[in-house]
Chains A and B, each alone.
Chain A
Amino acid sequence: ETGVTQTPRHLVMGMTNKKSLKCEQHLGHNAMYWYKQSAKKPLELMFVYSLEERVENNSVPSRFSPECPNSSHLFLHLHTLQPEDSALYLCASSQDSGVSSDTQYFGPGTRLTVL
């Protein structure tokens, strides 16, 4: 596998469920990101990890819980979500965070539907 992969690609869950989204990057990057993309809204940055440390948390509700066990893997744990959390969740990685020239490479996304 090359680039950035995400699983699952599609997820339907009830409001009481607990699920996790997984992201893996094969690019040797040090920084990883979670974004949320809702219909007709700009991309919203949720979390940034640099060398497995969280460096950005954009006022995201606690029902979203990120985990970065190593620089290649990033998880987003979901629990007691709301229907308005239905969106496309995109993972990205870059060589480092905080460098203006660093390109972020994105995975294919997980399309989440909360019933």
Chain B
Amino acid sequence: AQKITQTQPGMFVQEKEAVTLDCTYDTSDPSYGLFWYKQPSSGEMIFLIYQGSYDQQNATEGRYSLNFQKARKSANLVISASQLGDSAMYFCANGASGNTPLVFGKGTRLSVIA
């Protein structure tokens, strides 16, 4: 069974600084994907970034990058140059093949301070 652990219930970061949100996963599937979503107070889950288990390079999307360490089973999200609009809940999720549902972590609440 898959499991996602996000150990930071809440994080604070100064505007324009970088922040790392932690995510560790546990899966026995050799082929899997790791996703990060942002959920503002409005409720919508916004897809940010994806990393495949066989990808050699860390994924990047604008100010978001994924620090993928396969041996440690970690997939931390790095947000560079934080903005006030980045304040939200952030969820890490793990997808595997074969009709296995996407498994979400409990989330980290990020607060960006001016």
Say if A and B assemble together: yes
Chain A residues engaging chain B, CB cutoff 8 angstroms: 41-43, 45, 48, 50, 55-56, 58, 88, 90, 92, 97-109, 111
Task: Give the nearest-CB partner of A89 in chain B.
Answer: B43
Query: Is B85 an interface residue, CB under 8 A from the partner?
Result: no
* Pair A101/B99 contact, Cβ less than 8 Å: no
Query: Once the chains bind, are B52 and A43 in contact (CB under 8 Å)?
Result: no
**A38, chain B: closest CB distance, angstroms:** 12
- Please state if A101 and B104 are interface contacts (CB–CB under 8 Å): no
Shortest CB–CB separation between residue A76 and chain B, in angstroms?
16
Query: Count of A-B contacts with CB under 8 A?
Result: 62
* Chain A residues touching B, majority SS: loop
What is the CA–CA distance of A42 and B9 in the complex, to the nearest angstrom?
Answer: 12
Given A43-B91, A45-B101, A45-B102, A107 and B44 contact (CB-CB distance below 8 Å): yes
Choice from A42, A50, A101, A109 contacting B33 with Cβ under 8 Å: A101
Contact pick for B99, options A43, A98, A109, CB 8 Å:
A98
A residues in contact with B101, CB < 8 Å:
45, 48, 56, 58
Please state if B42 and A108 are interface contacts (CB–CB under 8 Å).
yes
With A99-B97, A101-B50 already in contact, the answer to whether A42 and B104 are too (CB < 8 A) is yes
Say yes or no: A100 contacts B104, CB within 8 Å. Answer: no
Pairs A-B, 8 closest by C-beta atoms: A106-B45, A98-B99, A109-B43, A43-B104, A108-B44, A100-B33, A100-B97, A45-B101
Rounded to whole angstroms, the CA-CA distance of A73 and B44 in the bound complex is 18
- Residues of A contacting B29 in the complex (Cβ-Cβ under 8 angstroms): 100
B residues adjacent to A (C-beta < 8 A): 29, 31-33, 35, 37, 42-47, 50, 52-53, 91, 95-102, 104-107
Which of chain A's residues have a CB closer than 8 A to the CB of B102?
A: 45, 104
A100-B44 in contact given A42-B106, A45-B102 (Cβ < 8 Å): no
The answer to whether B96 touches A55 (Cβ under 8 A) is no
Q: A42-B104, A56-B101 are in contact. Are A101 and B47 (CB under 8 A)?
A: no
User: Can you list 15 A-B contacts (CB < 8 A)?
Assistant: A42-B106, A42-B107, A43-B45, A43-B104, A45-B102, A48-B101, A88-B43, A97-B99, A100-B31, A100-B32, A100-B95, A102-B33, A103-B47, A106-B46, A106-B47
